[in-house]
Amino acid sequence: MARTVLIAGNWKMNKTIAEGESFADGLKSSIGDHDCEFAVFPPFFSVPFVSARLEGAGVTVGAQDLFWEKSGAFTGEISAEMIADAGGTAVLIGHSERRHEIGETNDVVSRKLKAALDAGLVPVLCVGETLEDREAGDAEPYVRIQLESAVAGLTVHQVQRMILAYEPLWAIGTGRTASPEDADTMHRFVRKFIESRFGADLAASIRILYGGSVKPENATALLGKEDIDGALIGGASLDLDTFLGIAAAAEDPS
């Protein structure tokens, strides 16, 4: 089953509103040169501005996190409904920086995933092992536990609306990338997991992005792999030319 390549930029805590708008304008004017889909995840403040600039362009604009309650006394938090109200249609869930820098547990990730689905957002569920687990040969069991916890109790219909991202912790922002073969092996493992729980059709259609030091130089090899359906890009997504360079490299079959 054909899965359209998705090139997604996670800006993390970068870019002012004006910088986000200017990036959005540039992206909008370059979209016609590419066959892939694009998504950007600006900081919360910029979501309404970036989504307004990208209106009608077919680019997904999402937030980097949410809180699972709809409203109430949760100082500093933002709900899924607020993201949708601001023009966001997607949200990153369980990014490794939230899991490991902020301390989000699998239980928290699962609540956030359900809140995103309930509000009609497209969740991009991030999973990925630590270096210790990879070196101990436990990468797959580690990722399996993250997946099991996140999708417990979800229906086929709900999982159909999700995107997955495999981001090995040791490859994020470090300049180290998983080899295309290792990444593809993990993507196949994730797809098999989805097949075992939700059936072959869903497993064949769900997109699994790779994230961790993706750049134009390694995108062709990574995205050339059968089970890698796109990229979730941090550092290299901040510069428009580099971001578009990744899309061009992903579209280059050589």
Among 90, 172, 206, 219, interactor with ligand PGA by CB under 6 A = 172
Which CB atom, from 83 or from 222, has the smaller least distance to ligand PGA? 222
Is residue 195 part of the annotated active site? The answer reads no
Quick check: 232 binds ligand PGA (CB under 6 A)?
Answer: yes
94 vs 64: CA distance, rounded Å: 9
Which CB atom, from 6 or from 203, has the smaller least distance to ligand PGA? 6
Residue nearest to ligand PGA (CB): 234
Least distance (Å) between residue 176 CB and ligand PGA:
9
Quick check: 20 binds ligand PGA (CB under 6 A)?
Answer: no
Q: Hey, is 226 helix, strand or coil? A: coil
Stretch in the footprint of ligand PGA (CB under 6 A) among 60-68, 188-196, 227-235, 242-250: 227-235
176 vs 213: CA distance, rounded Å: 6
Is residue 167 part of the annotated active site? The answer reads yes
Among 86, 235, 246, 248, interactor with ligand PGA by CB under 6 A = 235
AA identity, residue 75: T
Which CB atom, from 51 or from 177, has the smaller least distance to ligand PGA? 177
161 vs 221: CA distance, rounded Å: 27
Which CB atom, from 125 or from 203, has the smaller least distance to ligand PGA? 125
Q: Which among 199, 111, 210, 114 has a CA at the least distance from the CA of 161?
A: 114
Among 95, 104, 129, 187, which one carries the catalytic annotation? 95
28 vs 26: CA distance, rounded Å: 5
Phi, psi of 166 (to 5 degrees): -95, 115
Quick check: 211 binds ligand PGA (CB under 6 A)?
Answer: yes
187 vs 184: CA distance, rounded Å: 5
Quick check: 213 binds ligand PGA (CB under 6 A)?
Answer: yes
Give the count of beta carbons closer than 10 Å to the beta carbon of residue 124.
28
Give the count of beta carbons closer than 10 Å to the beta carbon of residue 92.
27
143 vs 30: CA distance, rounded Å: 36
Least distance (Å) between residue 195 CB and ligand PGA:
25
Among 84, 234, 247, 250, interactor with ligand PGA by CB under 6 A = 234
N residues, the chain: 254
Among 233, 244, 248, 249, interactor with ligand PGA by CB under 6 A = 233
Stretch in the footprint of ligand PGA (CB under 6 A) among 72-80, 179-187, 198-206, 233-241: 233-241
Least distance (Å) between residue 142 CB and ligand PGA:
17
Task: State the burial class of residue 175 (Cβ atoms within 10 Å of its Cβ: 0-12, 13-18, 19+).
Answer: exposed
The structure tokens 């101990």 sit at 136
User: Which residues make up the interface to ligand PGA (CB under 6 A)?
Assistant: 10, 167, 172-173, 211-214, 232-236
Catalytic residues, by residue number, are 95, 167
